Chain A
Amino acid sequence: MAGLTLNHLYKRYDNSGKKKKIKNDFAVQDLNLVCEQGEFVALLGPSGCGKTTTLRMIAGLEDITDGEIYIGERLVNKLQPKDRNIGLAFEDYAMYPPLNVYGNVAFNLRAKGVDKDEIDKKVREIAPLMQIDDLLEKMPVKLSGGQKQRVNIARAIIREPELLLMDEPLSHLDGKARQAMRTEIKRLINKIKCTTVYVTHDQLEAMSLADKIAIINFGVLQQFGTPTEVYDDPANEFVASFIGEPPMNILETTIIKKEDTFFFTFDNSNLQIAVPKRYYSVVKDGFRCKMGVRPMDVLIGGPDSQGTPEEIATFENLGDERRIGIHVGDVLMMLITEDEKRYKRGDIIKLEVRGEKTHLFDIETGDRIREKKE
């Protein structure tokens, strides 16, 4: 059963009332998404890409210009937020300061007029799950960021919503606390098995938390898939460069044919990389496209390597790993190695690329060029 279905969703802001004429662009454009029951889905994209607008439409805080939203099997387009049976955990904690944690968690149920004993039972049930059992008597001002966030989530899920929505809940935390809280959220959601939509601009967060990631840019869905899919099999150049840190190396290339072998060649560079056989059906001599390869998949060849000798432009020893930069034309191509050898600028290394890990992108549209299926 689907937990959440977005069907040709559009959002267009009405700017006609404003003095300054703003281009009447769609904030969200033809968004189709099916989240399975109990799935954790991240909406990921740069700021202003329409991910928060989407979330707000799902929550009912924003009008829908066109399209349909189903929660479970119910069409919720016309329903008020309170009738949609959703839990919200937003960026700002927005707790009621005069109430203690217990009061805050119980607030929604009290407002609904649920029986007192019933409320108490539920709060006591949920508190250990969120690890807030010893905080129940505390006031919100006394809580740390991480604790507030846990209370916030407890408050969202106490109503047993069909759908849990979170909007950048970690953006207030920094560094270590953020990482720890990320783990916590992942484990909590795993326990309650609630369908969750999570908005973030941080690809690490999305990669770590989500079962599936929806990558959005300029209001348009770029790719929807598991972290593995978006990392190893990006739909286009945007997804390829957005996911992964340091980002994928993406280089413009001209493919040439020597005897029976195709090679990637690059302007102002002697670098040549053999084109993997699987692409032979789509490339031809003189074909121009972009080649993408992750820094982890660029290797330093041994003494008898066939790789092109290249000069090291930058070398960084980061302890756990070393990063080497090589000028390919005017682009700095990065490679990461855990090899303990220390290089310095000007050293020559033989460069090899894991052919099976290269991706081709259209030079104009950035769309992925895929090998033809047999």
Chain B
Amino acid sequence: MARIQLENVRKAFGKVQALDGISIDVKDKEFFVLFGPAGAGKTTILNCIAGIAMPEEGLIKFDGEIKNLIDPAHRNVAMVFENYALYPQMTVYDNMASALRSKLYKTPEDEIRERIMWAAKTMKMENLLERLPSQLSNGQKQRVAMGRALVRTPNVFLMDEPLAHLDAKLRNSMRTELKEMQANLGSTCIYVTHDFMEAMALGDRIAIINEGKIVQIGTGDEIYYMPCNEFTAQLMGDPQINIFDARIGEVAGGFTATFPVNGEEITVSLPEDGRVYSTIKEKGLEHVDIGIRPQNVKYSFEAKEGYFKATVYSYESIGNKSVIVAECGDYQLRMIAPNGLSVAIDSDVYIRFELDRSIFFDSVTKEYIVRYDEQTFIDLAKSEEEK
């Protein structure tokens, strides 16, 4: 097991700058998640660590030792590829044994057997060992690919979307097990995903990647509650966070936010919060983007005090709960509702924000400014890190 460091790594494919100065420091035994949209460069980072891709600039260190010029075979990393990359001519058993049979990592056959049996059991695929990859479903292939990595004791596990092709039920149970397994193995793991739930659930720390750059690194709670900009905020959370532009006004004893809904101006008072108020004063904020998560938007189907009117655009289940999307003129608001309501499209819905849960972003740079209860969440994130 090892500490993995990348220092200012740059890599281009032709004219496309795939990695643009990536620096990360993955601690020994850490579960580190690279999270970002498709094409962000996540896989390229893994390839650079594995030695499959060669960065043009920057250093790759394992335990402080520079590995840039070491070939993949001698880096002792185990990798799970997104398209499985199973050897088609070999049975599942031989696939899993291949690394342990190579000259470099030569292991006695009975030990190989033992380890494969263990990995097969954890991956729930003991009955697949004699099959060829072509006889497996995608979900099974993915488990084999995982198993092939798990039989090894590498410096680091590199996993590229290893759960992406599993169906929802299996994905949830494997996610739970993966975290436990990594803790038991005490191994360093770098994990690529575009699924926000995987990132949150698995990562000791998460690095948000976009367009070859690191946007933010932090624990799940840090990034979820204090996203460094609107991009990160939108990435973390499903359904997406609502962000709308508001004008700040000052009234006796406090501040208000004014924003348009279907052509009308709605003014609400901002709840009092020491840090939010002082930040508004200090920076003299007039315009902000307010971010508010769907679970903090309250709705009613009857007119109510403090609620404003919008139109239902859609009502859809997302599993154990549903999302109402409401049309407010130029933008839409998402809010969480229970499953099984009868909500007619284009009917009226009345909305109230729990503004004391909101996050403020700069309306020009889209960067994080302040949020309500900031200190509480800073403490929460810290307690997470210590764990």
Q: Using CB atoms and an 8 Å cutoff, list the residues of chain A in contact with chain B.
A: 179, 182-183, 186-187, 190, 204, 207-208, 226-228, 231-232, 244-247, 294-296, 314, 316-320, 323, 325, 332, 336, 338, 340, 342, 344
On whether the beta carbons of A317 and B320 are closer than 8 Å, the reply is no
Q: Using CB atoms and an 8 Å cutoff, list the residues of chain B in contact with chain A.
A: 168-169, 172-173, 175-176, 179-180, 196-197, 200-201, 220-221, 224, 236-238, 293-295, 313-322, 325, 339-342, 345-346, 380, 383-384, 387
- Which residue from chain A places its CB closest to the CB of B321 in the assembled complex? A296
The CA-CA distance from A232 to B322 in the complex, in Å, is 14
A296 in complex: contacting residue of B224, B320, B384, CB < 8 Å? B320
On whether the beta carbons of A231 and B339 are closer than 8 Å, the reply is yes
A-B contacts besides A314-B179, A344-B387, 11 pairs, CB < 8 Å: A183-B314, A227-B339, A228-B340, A244-B339, A245-B319, A317-B200, A318-B200, A318-B201, A320-B294, A336-B320, A342-B384
Report B-chain residues with C-beta under 8 Å of the C-beta of A228: 339-342
Pick the most buried of A208, A232, A319: most chain B CB atoms within 10 A of its CB. A319
Report B-chain residues with C-beta under 8 Å of the C-beta of A208: 315-317, 322
A245 in complex: contacting residue of B168, B346, B383, CB < 8 Å? B168
The CA-CA distance from A316 to B320 in the complex, in Å, is 16
Pick the most buried of A183, A190, A232: most chain B CB atoms within 10 A of its CB. A183
The CA-CA distance from A227 to B384 in the complex, in Å, is 39
Report B-chain residues with C-beta under 8 Å of the C-beta of A187: 313-314, 345
On whether the beta carbons of B221 and A245 are closer than 8 Å, the reply is no
The CA-CA distance from A187 to B380 in the complex, in Å, is 42
On whether the beta carbons of B319 and A204 are closer than 8 Å, the reply is yes
- Which residue from chain A places its CB closest to the CB of B341 in the assembled complex? A228
On whether the beta carbons of A319 and B224 are closer than 8 Å, the reply is yes
Report B-chain residues with C-beta under 8 Å of the C-beta of A316: 175-176, 179, 200-201
On whether the beta carbons of A319 and B317 are closer than 8 Å, the reply is no
The CA-CA distance from A109 to B197 in the complex, in Å, is 48
On whether the beta carbons of A314 and B200 are closer than 8 Å, the reply is no
Q: List 27 A-B contacts (CB under 8 A).
A: A182-B316, A183-B313, A183-B325, A204-B317, A207-B322, A207-B339, A208-B316, A208-B317, A226-B342, A227-B339, A227-B340, A228-B342, A232-B340, A245-B169, A245-B320, A246-B172, A246-B319, A246-B320, A296-B320, A296-B321, A317-B200, A318-B200, A320-B238, A320-B294, A320-B295, A332-B173, A342-B387
Task: Write the nearest CB–CB distance from A239 to chain B, whole angstroms.
Answer: 14
Report B-chain residues with C-beta under 8 Å of the C-beta of A325: 176
Task: Write the nearest CB–CB distance from A116 to chain B, whole angstroms.
Answer: 35
The CA-CA distance from A232 to B175 in the complex, in Å, is 27
Task: Write the nearest CB–CB distance from A320 to chain B, whole angstroms.
Answer: 6
On whether the beta carbons of A314 and B340 are closer than 8 Å, the reply is no
A245-B168, A246-B172 known; A317-B345 Cβ under 8 A? no
Report A-chain residues with C-beta under 8 Å of the C-beta of B201: 316-318, 323
Report B-chain residues with C-beta under 8 Å of the C-beta of A296: 320-321
On whether the beta carbons of A319 and B237 are closer than 8 Å, the reply is yes
Report B-chain residues with C-beta under 8 Å of the C-beta of A342: 380, 383-384, 387
Report A-chain residues with C-beta under 8 Å of the C-beta of B341: 228
Report B-chain residues with C-beta under 8 Å of the C-beta of A247: 169
The CA-CA distance from A226 to B317 in the complex, in Å, is 13
The CA-CA distance from A342 to B381 in the complex, in Å, is 10
Task: Write the nearest CB–CB distance from A241 to chain B, whole angstroms.
Answer: 9
Pick the most buried of B315, B317, B341, B346: most chain A CB atoms within 10 A of its CB. B317
On whether the beta carbons of B221 and A320 are closer than 8 Å, the reply is no
- For the complex of A and B, list the 6 residue pairs with the smallest distance between their C-beta atoms, beginning with the closest: A228-B340, A245-B319, A207-B317, A208-B316, A316-B201, A319-B224
